[in-house]
Chains A and B, each alone.
Chain A
Amino acid sequence: MSAFASALAAVTRHRGVMACLVVAEEDGIVIDGSAQVGVDTAAFAALTASLYRKASRASGSAGFGQTSFCELEAERGRVLAAGRNGIVLVAVAESRANLGLLRVELLKAAGGL
């Protein structure tokens, strides 16, 4: 069992979650994760890490300090990311997923990264 297994399990057990990945913030490499068949984990990891990195730098430059959570909502789903110590926990979910619950779970899991 990997060091991230409990964090991943805590997120993926929620309804509507299609993938949960542990990703290196700097280069978007997948460290660990689980996903439904058909989800392109490498693309999600790389692009979400890039978005998270950009958001962190932008909010830092704008004087808002470090970013701890990022949510990207789209027409047919949402991507959520919570980071700590250079590692980002990424969840890809359907629109029907409970955002409040997932946010709390991701922040809790990210606290243990």
Chain B
Amino acid sequence: MSADIRAMSEQLAADPSSLIFLPLAEQLLGRGDLAHASRVARKGAERHAHRADVHDLVARIALAQGDESTAERAWRQSLSIAPEFGAAHRGLGFLCYRQGRWSEAEAHLGTARSATPGDPALEAAWEALHVARAEAEAAPAAPAVAHTPGQIFDEALGDSGQVALLLDRDGLVVAGQYLTAEGEDLGALIGAHLSGVGDEATRAMRHFGLGAWTRIALETEAATVVMAPTDDGVTLVAAPREVPLGLVRRTLEQCATVARQWLGGAA
């Protein structure tokens, strides 16, 4: 541990409300000590939840850890505090670009460029975005056939025996399907019953003081079911019990990303 980090850690221990956690977490991030950086930043975010820069720091660390959904939530939190906060627009711009969410990427990168004109990384991303977008728009229409609402999750699900549904706020299926061995689609039935769990979670979270819910996992006799809020609905993945829970959670993240992209494209 460097003398700087030790000194800042001691200062933070002596005064937990100090803003010294910001440079401390930055240094830890720079050294690649991501778990430690994340702990310091999250604790700081709890104490200084009103600061946009703190959520930006949490987001950058989460992104370094490969956790894109947490990064996106943290940057959105930043923007809810300071709508013009350039760092958050920059982060979201890069993230949306990586995920192929072209319109959102363009909006965020555009705002970030206005905030910091001449930033070479932003300029490069801006240029790359327009090239990638033009290529995507010029691509043959054939792939779109594979992305009919029932099939948007097929690629993310692979052959793992998992199924995924995108449900709206009323529990109606927006995309995905739940086919039985006989070819019957039970999506509407499953969605109608399980979407209420998300409503119950939202109600509970209002009293828990733990922030908004980000994921629910249920382990039942026949299946593992996980769900995550997506726009104003829910993405749900169900898997046979023999599929490891970690894999099901990972699939959920991928499917939620696919759902957001698809909704963005459909909008």
Contact = CB atoms under 8 A, between A and B. Distances in A.
A66 B220 contact: yes
Contacts of A63: 186, 189-190, 222
Contacts of A77: 208, 210-211
Interface string A63-101: 111111111111111110000000000001001100000
Contacts of B42: 76, 95-96
A54 interface: yes
Among B207, B208, B245, the most chain A Cβ lie within 10 Å of the Cβ of B208
A9 to B, nearest CB: 24
B203 interface: yes
A113 interface: no
A58 B216 CA distance: 13
A47 interface: yes
B220 A73 contact: no
A51 B197 contact: yes
Contact of A59 (B208, B212, B214, B225): B225
Contacts of A70: 216-219
Interface of B: 39, 42, 46, 73, 186, 189-190, 193-194, 196-197, 200-201, 203-205, 207-223, 225, 238, 245
Interface of A: 40, 43-44, 47-48, 50-51, 54-55, 58-59, 61-79, 92, 95-96, 103
